[in-house]
Amino acid sequence: MRISIFGTGYVGLVTGACVADVGNDVVCVDIDAHKVERLNAGEIPIYEPGLEDIVSANRTRKTLRFTTDAANAIAHAQVIFIAVGTPPDEDGSADLSHVLTVARTIGQHLDRYAVIVNKSTVAVGTADRVREAIAIELAARAKNIEFDVVSNPEFLKEGDAVKDCLRPDRIVIGSNSARAIEQMKALYAPFNRNHERIVLMDVRSAELTKYAANAMLATKISFMNEMANIAERVGADIELVRHGIGSDPRIGYSFIYPGAGYGGSCFPKDVRALEHIARSHGYQARLLGMVEAVNDTQKEKLYELIARHFGGALAGKTIAVWGLAFKPNTDDMREASSRRLLEQLWAAGATVRAYDPEARDEARRIFGERGDLVLCADADMALDGADALVIVTEWKAFWSPDFARIKDRLRAPAIFDGRNIYDPHLVEAAGIAYYGIGRGRSLHK
């Protein structure tokens, strides 16, 4: 099939590469000429495991191309994906300006039937606005061309996006058009062979499904962080509690890990956007507000533990930080817990020596060059001259360190484990003070 995708960000690039990988002829469009030039030269602007290989392979096969020429891309396609950003507006709603700009561009150049697919995370009712924007442009050209608008939300996890795209849990298609549904089923047939993954519904239900999924996952995380804070106060270990409740199949083990708060491009933005959608329809979604409030408070937990350990005297201290990205296997630092922690440490007069396997360049872009931040080439280097160590991102490379070596390197040996990846007894047996999230003992040290 001939596919065009507007947007070469996270969703657009992964979707384009994976759809091309099964034999489709894919053109990805972006207004950023420099970005398109880099992509056509084989440079990938984001870190995502497997993405560089799949893009390279399909560029070589000439099934994947990048362009700034919207008109040719529209003329090329049977199916046109809109996968541009929907950043949060000042009121928390999703900013649809980029989506509607693409819709108007489609209307200005469409010359035959096509299926227009909303892949971006958009407010409920956006498909109607996209349809209207295209229709207005067609009317201005005095053209009577049929088209359908479909909602097909993405469910890609950063760090597993290529795998999620090639082997999806579900493929949600929102449409009432038999013609459009037939096209979408044909497109997704290679991803749907093992068992039926397509879930058909109306457009508005599909639009809400994406928000509901992310809000549910964010709710589970905030709930566990609430339980962790209770566990700390009553002397319980949240990790044992997690195993106890996760064994209940009605609850399960996924997304019940306490920690230093969620971040990234999706959960914070989507929870706030869904809350705004509810308000705009006269409903106060109180639970969503509390999910976000709990998460915001949880991002201060690591600093609270560090300040308590040092009696508030952090001026002149050097803190080693392992992990800057909001989660492993990505370089994305959007709303990452590390950003809050670093700002708090700096405000208290501390210096940070930080290491992340992939996010160093992103950290340098965000923070610039400053005397109280050293971005280190490896985890061991981050320990040089440090008083204590903080784990913010649970990269696999951090899971089994040499605690005796860490003790020898730290001036005031203490580990603040923001993801509960270490056994407190092993750490303390090595002569290092241990602070975790909801581990019961931390509050009483």
Handedness of CA 307, 313, 315, 320 (dihedral sign): negative
Q: Is 445 helix (H, G, I), strand (E, B) or coil?
A: coil
Distance of CA 290 to the CA centre of its chain: 20
Q: What is the mean pLDDT of residues 328-350?
A: 97
Mean pLDDT of the chain: 95
Contact 142, 224 (CB under 8 A): no
Per-residue model confidence (pLDDT) at position 177: 97
Phi-psi region of 27 (alpha: psi -120 to 50; beta: other; left: phi over 0): beta
Q: Alpha helices of 22-85 — where are they, by DSSP H?
A: 33-40, 51-60, 70-76
| Distances 70 to 75, 102, 110, 263, 312 between C-alpha atoms, Å | 9, 9, 10, 33, 56
What is the chain's Cα-based Rg?
A: 24
Contact 104, 30 (CB under 8 A): no
Contact 245, 256 (CB under 8 A): yes
The yes-or-no verdict on residue 278 having pLDDT over 80 is yes
88: which strand partners?
Answer: 94
pLDDT per position as a tens digit, 9-18: 999 999 999 9
pLDDT per position as a tens digit, 91-117: 778 889 999 999 999 999 999 999 999
pLDDT per position as a tens digit, 285-315: 999 999 999 999 999 999 999 999 999 999 9
Q: Is 439 helix (H, G, I), strand (E, B) or coil?
A: coil
The yes-or-no verdict on residue 443 having pLDDT over 60 is no
pLDDT per position as a tens digit, 353-410: 999 999 999 999 999 999 999 999 999 999 999 999 999 999 999 999 999 999 999 9
Which residue has tokens 């893009």?
55
pLDDT per position as a tens digit, 120-169: 989 999 999 999 999 999 999 999 999 999 999 999 999 999 999 999 99
* pLDDT band of 441, cuts 50, 70, 90: low
Residues that are catalytic? 266
Contact 444, 435 (CB under 8 A): no
* pLDDT band of 444, cuts 50, 70, 90: very low
CA distance 188 to 20: 12
Contact 288, 271 (CB under 8 A): yes
